[in-house]
Structure 1
Amino acid sequence: MFRGLHTINLDAKGRLAIPTKYRETLAELCGARLVATIDTEERCLLIYPVNEWELIQAKIEALPSFNPVARRIQRLLIGHATDLELDSAGRILLPQPLREYASLEKESVLMGQGKKLELWSKSQWENRRDEYLDMVSQPEQLPEELQSLSL
């Protein structure tokens, strides 16, 4: 559903324009309603169509709250989840706490990841991408399933 990498700019109010190629899909899938939350492993944001997020939230809520790791995930993902809606110009407004978490400034990268989007600071993404590329050149670190993948 979502794929590709888009360099985008946040305006002074923290708004970003969703690429045109995604807007129609989002309107059909979820009435242009989205949910943004933090990524617990990286300093980026995860942006889901609301219908996809609801499935994930139900799974997170079903985790045992007495398990400290599960409780941490519940607090972080659900606690930071923020409802967003595309405005008439195809923009979303990201709240300040989410922008701060991901160190988002003017230049950002919106990356399709299938059923969700990731939003990164451009500089942080470029650094992480370079680290990932260095790892790929070390085949012994790749899972066996990826070693046999032919591109």
Structure 2
Amino acid sequence: MGDCGIMIIESGVHVMFMGEYQHNIDTKGRIIVPAKFREDLGDTFVITRGLDQCLFAYPMDEWHVLEEKLKKLPMTKKDARAFTRFFFSGAVECEVDKQGRINIPSSLRTYATMEKECVVIGVSNRIEIWSKDKWNDYVEVSEESFAEIAENMMEIDF
């Protein structure tokens, strides 16, 4: 209770990842997680195959929310089964080491074609890890059609 007899209710803290950071992945598959992302990711988080040939990383709270949504997909639908298989089969729990790095399994590095130069970006409730070449290609194509993408977002009541 506050001084005026008003009960103060703390709402859940929502994470917000944003920004773009360039890092190299070493020969053992380790990459530095930007310092600005580490606290919100937490001690343990989930990394999995993302869309557009990048990797998605979620704090555990966000992962559990997503997991509950995916559980509600109708398993009688072929696309729902395919998506959940793809998404969950690539998922692994990760921890940040004392140097601020995570170890990305070779299967995920292969999926995202990560060899040396990478880009780590914040995307609202998750981070994405891209090979630098794939990210540059994606940005180049997306910049050309950004106005059209924005217009399409308005059509879905954005």
TM-score normalised by structure 2 residue count: 0.82
The residue matched to 2:37 in structure 1 has which SS?
helix
Distance 2:135 2:123 in 1: 14
TM-superposed deviation, 1:141: 7.4
TM-superposed deviation, 1:144: 6.0
Distance 2:104 2:149 in 1: 40
Aligned CA-pair RMSD: 1.9
Structure 2 residues not aligned, in runs of 5+: 1-15
Aligned to 2:45: 34
Distance 1:18 1:44 in 2: 15
Distance 2:40 2:58 in 1: 12
Aligned to 1:55: 65
1:2-25 Cα deviation digits (max 9, x unpaired): 100000111110001111122233
Is 1:143 matched with 2:135?
no
Distance 1:3 1:72 in 2: 29
The residue matched to 2:31 in structure 1 has which SS?
strand
Distance 1:114 1:140 in 2: 18
Specify the structure having the higher radius of gyration (Cα): 2
Distance 2:97 2:146 in 1: 39
Aligned to 2:13: none
* Segment of structure 1 superposing worse, 58-67 or 114-123: 58-67
Is 1:128 matched with 2:143?
no
| Structure 1 residue ranges, 4+ long, deviating more than 6 angstroms after superposition | none
Identity of aligned residues (%): 34
* Residues 2-151 of structure 1 aligned to structure 2 (within 5 Å): 2-26=17-41, 30=42, 32-39=43-50, 41-136=51-146, 139=148, 142-143=151-152, 145=154
TM-superposed deviation, 1:57: 1.1
Instruction: State how many pairs are aligned.
Output: 141
Distance 2:39 2:110 in 1: 29
TM-score normalised by structure 1 residue count: 0.86
